[in-house]
């Protein structure tokens, strides 16, 4: 069976979002997010779609299996550093990446 809670935790950590911030942004009680992540509750269809929208994934992508759950360590290290950049340096980095990647 697919573990919805683990996928929510994965996406939340990938985006460096706390469970509390996620609950506030989705306008649900923090205990709701906690229960979903622990697997003691399942989200409603509406909440599941809201979670997908929040993280910018389709429901199909959310439930995709057979894909690596974690990026390679070198990508994770880069992402960790990028998340700490101030907005002005982030724009510079994006411009550089745009010249390197199609």
pTM: 0.65
pLDDT digits (tens, 9 = 90+) for 84-93: 999 999 999 9
- 12-21, 23-32, 74-83: least confident range: 74-83
Half-sphere exposure of 87 (CA within 13 A, CB side): 0
Please give the structure tokens belonging to residue 8: 């929510």
Do the Cβ atoms of 8 and 51 come closer than 8 Å? yes
pLDDT score recorded for residue 1: 75
pLDDT (mean) for 37-44: 95
CATH number for the domain whose boundaries are 1-67: 1.10.260.40
Does pLDDT of 62 surpass 80? yes
């Amino acid at each position: 069976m697919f573990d919805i809670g683990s996928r929510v935790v994965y996406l939340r950590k990938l985006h460096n979002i706390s469970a509390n911030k996620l609950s506030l942004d989705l306008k649900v009680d923090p205990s709701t997010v906690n229960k979903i992540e622990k697997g003691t509750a399942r989200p409603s269809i509406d909440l599941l779609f809201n979670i997908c929208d929040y993280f910018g994934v389709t429901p199909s992508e959310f439930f995709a299996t057979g894909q690596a759950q974690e990026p390679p360590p070198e990508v994770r290290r880069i992402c960790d550093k990028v998340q700490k950049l101030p907005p002005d340096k982030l724009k510079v980095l994006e411009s550089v990446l745009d010249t390197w990647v199609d």
